[in-house]
Structure 1
Amino acid sequence: MGCGLVAALLGWLILETDFKAFWQELRQLPLWLLPLLIVLQLLTQLLITYQWHQLTALVLGQSHFLKLLHIFTRGSVVEAVTPGAKIGGEAVRLYLLKQDFHCSTSQALSIIAMQKSISMSVLLSICLVSLLHIGRHIAAHMSTLMQLLSGALVITLVLAMMGLLFFARALSQWLTQFHGRVPQGLARQLTAYATATAQLSRGHWCLQFAISTVVWLLFPIKMVILSATLGVHLSFFVLLSVTMVSYMMGLFPFTPGGIGTFEGTMLALLTLLGVGYTTGLTITLVFRFVTFWLVILGSVSFVVAYESHLKFTGGHHAHQSTTSSHTP
């Protein structure tokens, strides 16, 4: 059903597109726009890597920024070809964390789970506000029941993420009461995760949430800049809502990287908000090119360059060793 919906969205995009008008819209974009959007996207990628760097240093007592950038970018490539909430990319990162930092599966899973929970709790919180905000603008096209169900789902997910972050030890202790009915592997992992979360002080938690907030807000900032250059002057909060709801829809496991789902959602929302079809399509495709396709291209280029450097310098042994870097 999901794949059929995506196919229908893609078919609608192709049938409705006036490619001549689309090309004219593209030609109106100023030369400085693409480099600016690329710089903002690069900042996004580096901030996420720094977040990983901080968590790895806290949990393992060691970290290495370039190794983590390599791990993160390799995961990004896999995310682009596997459907569903980026699970494939996280599996690759789990393997590489264990290999590069000689840590246990429990430690690597704890790092990934913390980063994912922090990032998703921020994303879902912004999405909740976005759903409430954009629902007022497209109320005629979105039933009250659908708004309530969407809001309830997002609230439930946010509470689940926050519970994993701040009540992991209590949950671990609660599970110990069910001897024999809870898999030992799950119980051990939750205990290791609770130990890892205990390493973060209040200042570390604030920093982690601040990084994730900046990362997610950089996406609507790119959207605002892109829209303004095409004469679309919707408010920041409306464009934030469009961007976040599109990302939330792209997380559903219909297609690799949310291809089709993301684009169809963004274009549909922009159209409902009064943006012309061709202008909306231009905004959607340019935004997606910078935040998705260019990220894949840059990730592949970095991975190839990094691994070629290791081979050229005979750096396999250096690749396996780690450089200590404690958090400030």
Structure 2
Amino acid sequence: MELAKRIVNGDRRAAARAITMIENDSPDRQKLLKALHPNTGNAYLVGITGSPGAGKSTLTDQLLFWLRKQGLQVGVIAVDPTSPFTGGAILGDRIRMTGHSLDPGVFIRSMGTRGSLGGLARATKEAVRVLDAYGSDVILIETVGVGQSELDIMHVADTTVVVLNPTAGDHIQTMKAGIMEIADVFAINKADLPGADKTEREVNNMLDLLHDLDWRPPVVRTTSRDPATFRTLWEACSRHREYLVQSGHWGRRRRQRWQDEILAIAEQTLSRRIRQSIAAHPDWPQLLREVESGEKDPYQVADLVLEWYNTTISRP
């Protein structure tokens, strides 16, 4: 596709248009992603996650300044919550990062979750692929404020930074949450506030209880009042990247992500085809009535549905 060629050649408008196509589920979306695929896999993906109010957007903004000083091309996918009432989203992350809006080495895209519950938008993975083909050296993926179970970022990022702050409340309870278990790096943001020592001590105490760690997540402090702290954060991320490469986890993680994505695509395609199959079958309404009346159970009917589908695909 001509659009894919323009993206690979660094056309900013083409990349923006491609992500819009992906978000709107354009009929040409799949062709575009196929054309881009040979030019992907080069960017370093860093996830930035944490509870609401931890300062993820400010941290991302400050980290951007540091990465640009290193001459790196940076892409940012910032996910904001979508209203369940209006369907709209306040894309505040783009507003917070206006200092980079005129920088040709930075591409920022805000995305609404559109009902997705994992802390990311459904189109996030594909948008990341566009920015990868576009030429980004590093892609920062900032999740919507997450809780215990919204952990999709661990299946997308190479390195996951969990952002905490000294005023988070009951840190011991927070550490029981699943989000603490996905961290490759801990960043105590707003570290100039009282309580940073206590938070760092509690995180390290938690890590001390985990004796079988191949990688012990470093705990770093960041504050917008001291830009040098974001250099320390980036150094911690870089050490994790080196660990992944040297241990072989880099390749294994990426292969696992491809496997998960291939299976997800196959499941979605199969589900769509089965739905089309039962919608066209004359016995389907009667079977639903028999399940409702108790004459048949859902498992029996599911077996019949699979038989219908298998018969359909086995026809010459």
Q: TM-score range with shorter-chain normalisation? A: under 0.3
- Give the structure, 1 or 2, with the largest relative contact order (CA under 8 Å, sep 6 or more): 1
TM-score scaled by length of structure 1? 0.24
Larger Rg: 2
The TM-score with structure 2 as length reference comes to: 0.25
Structure with more of its chain in helix, by fraction: 1
